Amino acid sequence: MARAAKEVNEAKLNASAPSLLLSLKPKSRAAGAKLFGQSWLPKGAPRAIILLAHGYAEHLGRYEHVAKTFTDAGLAVYALDHWGHGRSDGARGFVPHFSVFLDGMAALLDVVQHRHPKTPRILLGHSMGGLIAAHHLLEHQSAYCAAILSGPAVQPGTPPSAATQIIGRLLSAIAPHMGLITLEADAVSRDPQVVADYMADPLVYHGKMSARLASEMLRAMMEIQEKAVAIHCPLLVVHGSLDRLAAASGGAALVQAVSSSDKEFRALNGLYHEVFNEPEREAVLAGVLSWIDARIS
């Protein structure tokens, strides 16, 4: 698997400047791409560091309120816009290979290890970011004391037929940029203001997911289902029971499959896909924070 470089714009890596700029190493399938990152720091030394992987089509800026919850509790948060997302380089709705997302997370981990070498680290991934985080753990779980996945895209909300999968792989090979899938904006949250903000956000991609990205995600889903047993760190999965974008059964199956002795699946009754953006967000985040506190105490 291609690995990320520890090539970072050091001028921007200081406590007073929250922005990060990461560059992917020549071995990456997106060599030289620049990825935009952000850090949110608490007052005083952080008790732990959260590394956050956002979902498909969105960007790290949508997690400002999540970061505030954690920084108010003495935790630092580091995140990046994945390749092809937000302020990062890359074609929207496309990826040359799923490993490019993993390259970005490895680069972010390098930054955190450099800046906070002795502080406990926790991995947090939402939706496609949950899928990315699960794969990231396969190679880097020794760097984390725990992991949390929110609505992880381990199984699609509507499983494609065998014929659709074959056609998708063919299009990925011969027409990789062809648009295939558009997400339902009103499936992200039951809060109409969240949906309106999502639709109006210029950094959110509202076009179709390409054949290549759809194929790469489906392949990554099947691969993590096969390799989940290799994950043994403490794991919490939270999933809205009415999630139409990522099947809650996938999150439950992932928790069942991992080898962790400390693992939990929380089905949040009546919630949609973005559990941190639902009307119950404060209670959901409080529950996650309580779980984190128990693992870093």
**What are 111-164's pLDDT values in tens digits?**
999 999 999 999 999 999 999 999 999 999 999 999 999 999 999 877 777 777
Could you list the active site residues?
Answer: 127, 243, 273
Average pLDDT, the chain: 93
Inside any domain, residue 2: no
Calpha distance 86→130 (Å, rounded): 17
The per-residue pLDDT for range 57-75, each reduced to its tens digit, is 999 999 999 999 999 999 9
Backbone angles phi, psi at 33, to 5 degrees: -65, 140
Residue 195, in any domain of the structure: yes
- Answer whether residue 85 is part of any domain: yes
Q: 246 CB contacts (<8 Å, ≥6 apart)?
A: 127, 130, 151, 152, 153, 154, 155, 156, 157, 239, 273
**CB of 236 within 8 A of CB of 120?**
no
Residue 15 in any domain: the answer is yes
Residue 1 falls inside a structural domain? no
Which has the closest alpha carbon to 19: 72, 73, 74, 78? 78
| pLDDT greater than 70 at residue 1 | no
User: Within a domain: residue 167?
Assistant: yes
pLDDT at res. 169 = 87
Number of domains in the chain: 1
- Residue whose tokens read 């949609």: 272
Instruction: Output the domain CATH number for residue 17.
Output: 3.40.50.1820
At 253-278, the pLDDT tens digits run 999 999 999 999 999 999 999 999 99
Decide if pLDDT at 282 tops 70: yes
Residue 12 has pLDDT above 50, yes or no: no
The closest alpha carbon to 212, from 129, 99, 291, belongs to 99
Total-model pTM? 0.93
Q: 162 burial class (0-12, 13-18, 19+ CB within 10 angstroms)? A: exposed
24 — alpha (psi -120 to 50), left (phi > 0) or beta?
A: beta
107: pLDDT strictly greater than 80: yes
List, for residues 189-230, the tens digit of each pLDDT value. 999 999 999 999 999 999 999 999 999 999 999 999 999 999
Q: What is the pLDDT of residue 4?
A: 36
**Residue 90 to residue 187: CA distance in whole angstroms:** 26
Whether 272 is covered by a domain: the verdict is yes
Do the domain assignments include residue 67? Answer: yes
Domain span including residue 183: 7-296
